[in-house]
Amino acid sequence: MTPRSALARLSIAVGTAALVGAAALTPAAAASEPEPGTRAAPRLYKGVVTASRLLLRSAPDRGGKVVRVALRNDIVTVYCRTTGQSVDGNNRWYLLTDGAWAYGSARYIRDLGPAPRWC
């Protein structure tokens, strides 16, 4: 065997091993659930504020302390949804992660993508 053919065979073997390794990792990387013993970052959702001024509160009701104000067309990051006091017939509230954790009425937040998971 010549040195050149040995080098070619070694290159093929290394390339094949890399492809096999990548194929073995792909299903694990694509899985929606983290592997046991690991802690994956939770999925976050996006929404856009539809009210001119949306009061974000410490609890999912109108009696919660106002934490901050979001303005019309602000894009907000939603951690999850929960039920709370009804606002114009909608009792869903979103827990937002923008700056400070606060609840905003889902009545005034339009989902950008899938609806957030339940808290």
pLDDT digits (tens, 9 = 90+) for 30-80: 334 455 666 666 799 999 999 999 999 999 999 999 999 999 999 999 999
| C-alpha span between 90 and 108 (Å, rounded) | 10
C-alpha angle 78-82-83 in degrees, rounded to nearest 5: 140
Say if residue 105's pLDDT is above 60: yes
Name the residue with higher pLDDT: 36 or 24: 36
List C-alpha distances in Å: 83 to 23, 46, 91. Answer: 42, 18, 5
As a whole number of angstroms, the distance between CA 114 and CA 45 comes to 8
Collect all residues with Cβ–Cβ distance below 8 Å to 11 and sequence separation of at least 6: none
